[in-house]
Structure 1
Amino acid sequence: MATNYQPKVSEAQKEIDFDANTYQIELNTNHGRILLDLMPDVAPGHCANMIGLAKIGYYDGQSFHRIIGGFMIQGGCPQGTGTGGPGYNIDAEFNDTPHVEGVLSMARTSDPNSAGSQFFICLGAHTHLDNQYTAFGRTADDASMDVVRKLGALPTDAGDRPKSPATIESAKVIATPVG
């Protein structure tokens, strides 16, 4: 049975204050840095979840296990297969954010409330995902989007797995006071 990270995540979330701070997630990958701006105004639960997971080091050393050129790069599975998660699920927070290039969204199964730790970053506009998946962030700058595009261009096998390593070396939370 998978480890349930919920107690550690809940503890790490205690210091989150969306009114006092803006939050970013910095993914340091073996292909460069991806800085993500989180959007708690549309999906506070998903933002708090990713912040908590990043704070406990959950994403460190994981891979982008699924890459589909022109569509998205996906990471956050501890097994690197697309079948794992943190041992708990969070409820969907569908919103009006369009799934366009650079948007951060949560992966899930056919159950809308099955998201846990797996996320994806869009490589283009995909309106069929709108209001079906929870968008909760976006790339913060052009340099970050360049790294996402670089990862999205990696050769993959028939199962959309990258043929060369696409690794999240570390994930860090950046809190910036509002004002």
Structure 2
Amino acid sequence: MRTTLRTAGIVAALALTLAGCVARESASEQPRGSDFTPSSETATETEAETETETETATDGTCEFQADPSQQPVVGLPPEDSQATGTTLTLTTSAGPLAIQLDTGRAPCTVSSQVFLAGEGYFDNTVCHRLTTSASLKVLQCGDPEGTGGGGPGYVVPDELPTDLPEGPTTSGTETVIYQRGIVAMANAGPNTTGSQFFLVFGDSTLPPNYTVWGKLDEASLATLDAIAAGGVAAGGQSPEDGPPATEVTIQSAQAA
């Protein structure tokens, strides 16, 4: 399944492919999947809130569930593990992208992403999708298959944001603004978050269905801006949605 992002009632063809059929994401104008319009990851919202104003499906222990639609890739992260470090640095063919980790907002998501980085899961993978529309400006990465349909073989609990600025209501759908610099998970719906994530280079309008787990520093945003300026490759879903014109490869990922 693909993970997608949905923005302001528009399926922003951002196929955010996360971690498997259940956790695969695709992005569309509403990122299809976790990212925008969860395409493969679906998260069931709980009524619990963390101290950092985030809806979360966790109560101190992360319940990572195997995704029956996918083959296990690296096993499950320890449920009681807590990520150490404050930054996850992606060394890419376009330059370094340093993600400041937000363990207070999304402890389980951060633990999963740091676990996957430590297992070399992200090494030599491509960022398969770039969306440059007025309402959705993101680069989507984290799929080892490079198709928007891959994932780690397990599902990460949803830790949905409740403190993002309000966006317009379109066709009865409430939206929020995922602001420039945010790093969030893509999905295909409730409880489908896997490994795919998106990096926001311009304020984007989406339902609050995508876990925010980090933020880019200014130097990383400059790198991301350069990627976006290169545009989308011909043959994508649209002139504003498809693979980056210049391929972006994550060569390694390391938490520190």
TM-score (norm: length of structure 2): 0.60
Q: Classify the secondary structure of the residue corresponding to 2:108.
A: helix
Structure 1 residue 58, shift from structure 2 partner: 0.3
Change (3 A) 1:93 1:143: same
Q: Residue type of the partner of 1:163?
A: A
1:62 to 100, 116, 125: 125
**Alignment partner of 2:253: what SS?**
strand
Partner of 1:52: 115
Structure 1 residues 17 and 91: alpha-carbon distance in aligned structure 2, compared to 1, 3 A threshold: closer
Contact 1:69-1:123 within 8 A present in 2 as well: no
Q: Deviations over 1:98-120 (max 9, x none)?
A: 310010000001x2210100000
State yes or no: 1:147 paired with 2:223: yes
Q: How far has the Cα of 1:67 moved from its partner?
A: 0.4
The within-5 A match list for 1:111-126 is 111-126=189-204
Counterparts of 1:143 and 1:136 in 2: how far apart (Å)?
19
Percent pairwise identity:
30
- Matches of 1:81 and 1:154 in 2, distance apart? 20
Give the RMSD, CA atoms, in angstroms. 2.0
Q: Which has the higher contact order (CA 8 A, sep 6+)?
A: 1
Find out whether 1:88 has 2:151 as its counterpart.
no
What TM-score do the two structures reach when normalised by structure 1? 0.84
1:142 is aligned with what amino acid? E
Q: Which residue of 1 aligns with 2:252?
A: 170
Match of 2:77 in 1: 10
Q: Matches of 1:128 and 1:10 in 2, distance apart? A: 29
Residue number among 102, 108, 118 corresponding to 1:39 in the alignment? 102
SS in 2 for 1:10: coil
Task: Deviation per CA, 1:70-114: give whole Å up to 9, x if none.
Answer: 6100001111010111111112100235310010000001x2210
AA at the equivalent of 2:117: A
* Residues 6, 88 of structure 1: 8 Å contact kept: no
2:180 aligned with 1:101, yes or no?
A: yes
Q: Where does structure 1 lack aligned partners over 5 or more consecutive residues? A: 175-179
> Structure 2 residue aligned with 1:25, among 67, 70, 88?
88
Return the index of the structure with the highest Cα Rg. 2
User: What SS class does the counterpart of residue 123 from structure 1 fall into?
Assistant: strand
Following the alignment from structure 1 to structure 2, what is the Cα–Cα distance between the partners of residues 152 and 68? 8
Name the counterpart of 1:177. none
Contact 1:27/1:33 (<8 A) preserved: yes
Which stretches of structure 1, 4 residues or longer, exceed 3 Å deviation after superposition?
none
- Match of 1:84, SS? coil
CA distance, structure 2, for counterparts of residue 95 and residue 6 of structure 1: 28
